[in-house]
Structure 1
Amino acid sequence: MGPEPLAIRVPVGEGSHRWTSRSTRRRVLLVVHNVTSAGRLLDLVPLFHDDFRVQLLVTSTGSSAFQDGVRDLLHELQLPELPWEQALSTPVDLAISASFGGELDLIQGNLSVLSHGVGYTKKLAKPGAGSREPGAGSREREARETQDPQVPGSAGPGARGRTPDAEAGGPGPTFGLSPEWLLPDGRPFVDGLVLSHPEQLERLARVCAEAVPSAVLAGDPCYDRMLAARPYRDRFRRALGVRRGQRLVVLNSTWNPEGLFGNGGGRDVLPGLLPRLAAELPLDDYHVAAVLHPNIWYGHGPGQIRAWLDRARRDGLALIDPVHAWRQALLAADLVLGDFGAVSYYAAALGTPVLLTADGTDVLDAEAPLADFVRHAPRLDPHAPLLPQVARGIEAHRPDPAPAGFVTSVPGRSAELLRGHFYALMDLPEPTAAASLEPLALPPYTPRTVTSPLHVRTRAEGTDIVVERSAGHPPGAFGDAHLAVHEETRRPGDLDLADVITRDGRADDPRLGGPGAWTAEVLRLHPHCATAVYVTGPDTCVVRSRAHGTFRLAAETRAGVETRAGAGARAETGAGTGAERGAGVGADADPAAYASALHAWLAYGGKVPARGVVLRAHTGGGSHPFRVEASG
């Protein structure tokens, strides 16, 4: 994370009144534990927008094991940052935290704590907490500074890493809803414990009645932002490079050795699952993305995550920003392959099909709704054929109303209720304008680039060509085969075996000399290659065939007509109906798929007339008409 910043002098600090341009009536301190908890605090900042009476401040406890990424996030907030020592000595009117990490009970001001996930669901003993003599006073400070409530087994000096309960496999306390977390020194220290549903209040009352008076039912701002963004699902899909008719499968893992990304409990699913997904899910029918918990991303390091997933990324896996874009990916998803983390439950609450790859029963509060969901949700068998399971998981899904009912009891009202709660703690009248949250941003457009060799199967009937591409040899593949290789393949030797060589670029890219020069050079450099393909845009490419000349290909966006070949292709792949998957509504496929269709059609004896011809590439996602015209 880097060295702790120096104490600030403006807008708080010694003599700050001499330097500030505006005086304010209230100070609000955002307490960051790590990137995970900070993500929830980012949801809350708009509740204080346009209020000239309030000065926002931010600090980091430094107590989490996951410090990478925190400094960048604080820089993004662009709020005055207090070192933790200064934060503890600075009086504030309100402090807000989305974690129990750090010495929160030493903050000089009212404290509100909310969950950074979907309520309070996980069992976790408080690190460094042991039996103490009554009236012994505050914990030793150095013990507190080493604790991390998000790391099972982290503890203070002298601890062995796990509590006796944990060693014995006992139930353990629920993080955030138990005396261990809420009653340091035997008395409550949180002035406002934000809950999203009365069931959490019921669990709290059973185990820690002393904290009930501080509980506030105020909904879930994270979920409310997703609900508000549901009308923009198609925009999010296009931003992620998902084409019409494709299905988006989102892999999700919480941080935990037992999660999908982990290799604890004697199982290690992910390394074998990723290449099989790339081989068994046809490339033009499915788009696969990964949403990893920030503690995975920043705990192991973004560079390490990319290194571990290099092959998967070359196969087309999209890595989603774990702070700013995961909700948009969840809204865009057709299916989530997840585990026992909050994201899987949010997906179910949104009505998205979920197949679980890990259940995590040992780390969940058995009474939490998430635990009930995990007990009953359908599973993915990683050893059985994947395509039928994925297709069945989508098509047989019937939304369960329970998750949506338990995520929040007040959907759409968290902004109103949270702002009312915060301003009550500050003893300040609320602004007259209605409270609102920031809309989810539209992520930047990120088209999928696949640089792994693609195994292509085709079958032609007139001007209709069935195309199935995958980064591997799926079981039960049909049709005539050719190998299509991107010029930036990891193994240059693949180019010597390729029937089709592709690359993406602007038509006027001076480094490549343009489509004509590049395609001619490729055929000269690689004698085995029959077809060179320069993809110039989302729906266009230039194709040079060694035997047939050069052609321009462009998607036909007019409504097409469903053909017998297209209907048969979907029947064979089990990809659903044309109405569901976009057949007959114009082309929206990868131009490289059009090129493979043309390559096969020419090999079957097709001839391009002088006026050009419209061919149809058929994938499980529908029929994609494209025009072929001679070039040069």
Structure 2
Amino acid sequence: MLLVVHNVTSAGRLLDVLPLFHDDFRVQLLATSTGSSAFQSGIRELFAELGLPVLPWEQAVATPVDLAISASFGGDLHLIKGKLCVLSHGVGYTKKLSRPGAGTRSPEPTFGLAPDWLLEDGKVFVDALVLSHPEQLARLERVCPEAAGAAVLAGDPCYDRMLAGRPYRQRYRRALGVRRGQRLVVLNSTWNPEGFFGNGGSEDLLPSLLPRLAAELPADEYRVAAVLHPNIWYGHGPGQIRAWLDRARHNGLVLVDPLSAWRQAILAADIVLGDFGAVSYYSAALDIPVLLAADGQERLDPEAPLADFVRSAPRLDPHAPLREQLERVLAAHRTSPGPAEFVSSAPHESAALLRRSFYTLLGLPEPATPALLEPLVTPPYEPPRRTAPLRVRTWVRGRRIDIERSAEHPYATSGESHLAVHEETRNPGDLAVADVIVREGPQDDPRLGSPADWAAEMLSRYPQCALAAYITGPDTCTAYARQYGPLQLSAGPDADADPAAYASALHAWLNNGGSLPPGGTTLRVRAAGGTHPVTVEFLTSSPHSGAAGP
């Protein structure tokens, strides 16, 4: 059996169905790449990870096979010597696209459903065209009735894997460092020039919007992640993507692996800021609110359910405050049955339906074991790491401190403000004007000395700084305040807030006349919609009250 890869995007869908052939000694798997995609990066690494025999395309089309499976129509698939099954690598067939070099048999052909894609010399060359819903079959029968006999209704394995992963939503959120009370905003873009990462219909949309999202949204209330189409990721190169999004990444944006972790990020999301790509529609089918930054109507088959969804989904105004728009969509969200209905007509059943079709084409009886897809893996733990300076606004009411931290406060009109800077800020000049300096790491890092030693060093080096805080765990940090010396701040595992916020709250409280008694105190820090009791204790036997500091 031959796996035909057009690019990494199409390979993702092949990886979805690969487990259906596990444990069958009758089936030898081979792999090839058509070489027809402009996006060739990443294919070699993917093949190396698969560890299957890889045939050059010229050899692949000269080698008789019992079955070839492709998740794209790219390349001369009609040359394959054997039965051919084609899967969709998106959410059905939705986009208008002409086949390169094939001429145009139909006006504005829909990729995968038009004669341009399904006929060669007037004949259907596909033995099985996998569709996820009867509405696709209805469109196929209208535009290319010759191919209707090859259609197989077999659900959507990608969607089924996400359905199976829904119970693990909290696990995926923790992997991304999302704390209780935080909202996860997932940015998503398809690869077309009209997509979110292209220009979205506006030349300055992306360069201004992504940094704004990461900077304007309060750090303790929002977590921001980006899921970019594999053609973006591998077409430009991961290094280039990281370079373009450098400022946003320093403000806490995390880039999600577009092959192995994007589904988990979507399941973890509170809201998706996307465009007319498949991920937006999958998100809506999973009942996740979607706000569109680009609609791309001209790219879509107007009869496809995705086009109907795009016409009615709320739109982002890139010139209006972002936080208010996100909160408005979250508050107004109501479940819509349409996307879930049209993504798949056989939810949870694609594994059985697909394996039955594959083995019929192979001419083999199915294995006796159940047909199962691979569960979604839990991604590596990747908490936010903000090294850009944060403007911290605080409201002190006795021992209660309300706090809001963000890179910018463009609409703030109240509260007191101070500057908190990570020691690894890009601009060393930020440290000279910081009120609070922070960093994180193990307590026994020999390069830095003890957390208290590091904090004392910061106060000695930067006279403007009033407090330095070394984050030692998910809910603890060691702080050095000039008038008191080394302090331990802890909130307990149930607090679930960033210890750097505790350090800023302590600074604001002390700056507003707060005084630490010898036995320490407990502050009540309100952040991300929750109030956290934070214990402040001296690390030495007696407080350094009135001391000038290092």
What is the TM-score with the length of structure 2 in the denominator? 0.96
Structure-to-structure mapping, 1:125-524, within 5 angstroms: 125-130=98-103, 172-263=108-199, 265-524=201-460
Partner of 1:54, secondary structure, is coil
In structure 2, the residue matched to 1:118 is 91
**Matching of residue 78 in structure 1 with residue 51 in structure 2:** yes
Cα distance in 2, alignment partners of residues 609 and 36 from structure 1 = 61
Counterpart of 1:145 in structure 2 is none
In the alignment, which residue of structure 2 is the partner of 1:609?
517
Which amino acid in 1 is paired with 2:170? D
Give the letter aligned to residue 45 of structure 2. Answer: D
Structure 1 residues 323 and 131: CA distance shift in structure 2, 3 A: closer
- Conserved? CA contact 2:200–2:294, under 8 Å: no
- How far apart are 1:281 and its partner, in Å? 1.4
The equivalent residue for 2:33 is: 60
Provide the secondary structure at the position in 1 that maps to 2:28.
strand
Q: Say which is worse superposed, 225-234 or 274-283, in terms of deviation.
A: 274-283
2:31 counterpart of 1:33: no
* 1:267 positional shift: 3.1
- Deviation of 1:396 after TM superposition, in Å, equals 1.3
Match of 2:71 in 1: 98
Deviation at 1:178, TM superposition (A): 0.5
Question: Helix, strand or coil for the counterpart of 1:278?
Answer: helix
Matches within 5 A, 1:452-601: 452-557=388-493, 586-601=494-509
Note the C-alpha offset of 1:442: 0.1
Deviation at 1:450, TM superposition (A): 0.2
Measure how far apart 1:277 and its partner are. 1.8
> How far apart, in 2, do the equivalents of 1:543 and 1:438 lie?
46
Task: Tell me which amino acid in the other structure corresponds to 1:293.
Answer: H
How far does the alpha carbon of each residue in 1:48-85 deviate from its partner, in whole angstroms, 9 at most, with x for none? 11111111111111111000111111111111111111
Residue 625 of structure 1 pairs with residue 533 of structure 2 = yes
Following superposition, the deviation at residue 265 of structure 1 comes to 4.2
Instruction: Give the drift of 1:266.
Output: 4.6
The percentage of counterpart residues that share the same residue type is 70
In 1: Cα distance, 2:520 partner to 2:62 partner:
77
1:270 & 1:547 partners in 2: Cα distance?
Answer: 46
Offset at residue 126 of structure 1 (A): 1.1
CA contact (8 A) 1:284 1:621 kept: no
SS in 2 for 1:55: coil
CA distance 1:131–1:334, shift in 2 (3 Å): closer
Runs of 5+ in structure 2 lacking a partner?
541-550
CA contact (8 A) 2:9 2:231 kept: yes
Letter in 1 for 2:492: E
Give the CA deviation at 1:34: 0.4
2:497 corresponds to which letter in structure 1? A
2:270 and 2:66 map into 1 onto residues whose CA distance is: 44
Q: Counterpart of 2:548?
A: none
**For residues 209 and 614 of structure 1, what CA distance do their matches in structure 2 show?**
74
**TM-score, normalised by the number of residues in structure 1:** 0.84
Partners of 1:130 and 1:32 in 2: CA distance:
23
Following superposition, the deviation at residue 520 of structure 1 comes to 1.1
Q: Give the whole-Å Cα distance in 2 for the aligned partners of 1:225 and 1:88.
A: 32
Do 2:519 and 2:537's aligned partners in 1 also have CA atoms closer than 8 Å? yes
CA distance in 2, matches of 1:245, 1:255: 32
Deviation at 1:131, TM superposition (A): 7.3
Counterpart residue identity of residue 22, structure 2: H
| Equivalent-residue separation in structure 1 for 2:101 and 2:433 (angstroms) | 60
CA change 1:221–1:69 in 2 (3 A) is: same
Q: Give the distance between the partners of 2:182 and 2:200, measured in 1 at CA.
A: 33
Deviates more, 1:320-329 or 1:610-619: 610-619
Cross-structure match for 1:152: none
**Separation of aligned partners in 2, 1:87 and 1:343:** 32
Q: 1:265 and 1:231 mapped to 2: Cα distance?
A: 37
Find the residue that maps to 1:425 and give its secondary structure. Answer: helix
What's the RMSD between the two structures over aligned residues? Answer: 1.3
* 1-structure distance, mates of 2:269, 2:532: 22
Cα deviation for residue 620 of structure 1 reads 3.4
Contact 1:246/1:284, CA 8 A, preserved across alignment: yes
Shift of 1:534: 0.5
Equivalent in the alignment of 2:60 = 87
Please list the CA deviations of residues 88-147 of structure 1 after superposition, one character each: whole Å capped at 9, or x if unmatched.
111111110000011111111111001000000000111112379xxxxxxxxxxxxxxx
Q: How many residues align?
A: 540
> For residues 434 and 459 of structure 1, what CA distance do their matches in structure 2 show?
59
Letter in 1 for 2:23: D
Cα deviation 1:586-622 (Å, max 9, x = unaligned): 3111110011011111112223333332212112331
Contact 2:98–2:104 (8 Å) recurs in 1: no
SS for the counterpart of 2:525 is: strand
Q: Deviations over 1:146-194 (max 9, x none)?
A: xxxxxxxxxxxxxxxxxxx9xxxxx510000000000011000000000
The 2-side partners of 1:591 and 1:550 are apart by 15
Any conservation in 1 of the 2:96–2:300 contact (CA below 8 Å)?
yes
Q: What is the deviation of 1:500? A: 0.4
* Residue equivalent to 1:50: 23
Structure 1: segments with no counterpart, 5+ residues: 1-27, 133-164, 166-170, 558-585
Change (3 A) 1:75 1:621: farther
What secondary structure is seen at the aligned counterpart in 2 of 1:373?
Answer: helix
Equivalence for 2:547: none
